[in-house]
Amino acid sequence: MAGETQITCKAEECSRTPLKRGMCNAHYLRWWKATPKEERPAPTVEERFWAKVRKTQTCWIWQGCKKPSGHGMFVVQKGRTVSAHAFSLELRLGHPTPEGKEACHRCDNPSCVNPRHVYYGTRQENVDDAWARGRHPIGSARPAAKLYEDQVIEIRERYALGDDAKELAREFGIKVSTLRHIVLGLKWKHVGGPITRRRELMKKAA
């Protein structure tokens, strides 16, 4: 951004980005090899953190342990493990995630720890943002989905024509309660097919 000072390696005449102890990776390795082990201080928390980050022109990619979702995890100290992107924002702002808030991504990259791509928001704000960006899988794209969209349409059509709910549920391998939510339009809202009204459903059940 305009007006910001570009931080560079503290080695003389080096313009590379500092990664460890104020030095770029090349100068840090030279210092590490030239310094006796007993004279090397233990890395700080910040140094351990940034050593696991690969910076690009946009996102800064976490190279350490990750959740199945792709979000990085970082052990700050024994007994405290946090999301990597949350800790990145904590380092920038100087305080941990406020109570009732969570670290949310501005970008669509869960592995990104660029603090400029992260902000504090409520759980609902985070969920709403994810839906708005299309990051939540729906329908048959969900790992736990038991049906495909064409099967949902078939269920709705056949139920509207009079097929028995229990028989349909058994045929498609789902619970009767799930089938009723489908034909009422409470589940699979993005899929077409005839929707049965509650009054019609109660008549059929009777």
Q: What is the model's pLDDT at position 68? A: 80
Residue 6 has pLDDT above 60, yes or no: no
Residue with token string 């090899």: 33
Collect all residues with Cβ–Cβ distance below 8 Å to 101 and sequence separation of at least 6. 120, 121, 122
Residue 3 has pLDDT above 50, yes or no: no
Residue 2 — pLDDT band, cuts 50, 70, 90?
A: very low
Tell me the pairing of strands 73-77 and 60-62.
unpaired
More confident residue, 25 or 155: 155
Are 86 and 102 in contact by the 8 Å Cβ rule? The answer is: yes
Residue 190 — pLDDT band, cuts 50, 70, 90?
A: confident
Mean pLDDT of the chain: 84
Residue with token string 């992260």: 118
Amino acid at 12: E
Q: What is the model's pLDDT at position 4? A: 41
Q: What is the model's pLDDT at position 138? A: 65
Cβ neighbours around 188 below 10 Å, total? 23
Residue 170 has pLDDT above 90, yes or no: yes
Tell me the pairing of strands 102-105 and 118-121.
antiparallel
Q: What is the model's pLDDT at position 205? A: 62
**DSSP structure class, residue 72:** B
More confident residue, 145 or 161: 161
pTM of the model: 0.52
Tokens coding 151:
């099967």
What is the sign, positive or negative, of the torsion defined by CA atoms of 76, 80, 83, 88?
negative
More confident residue, 137 or 119: 119
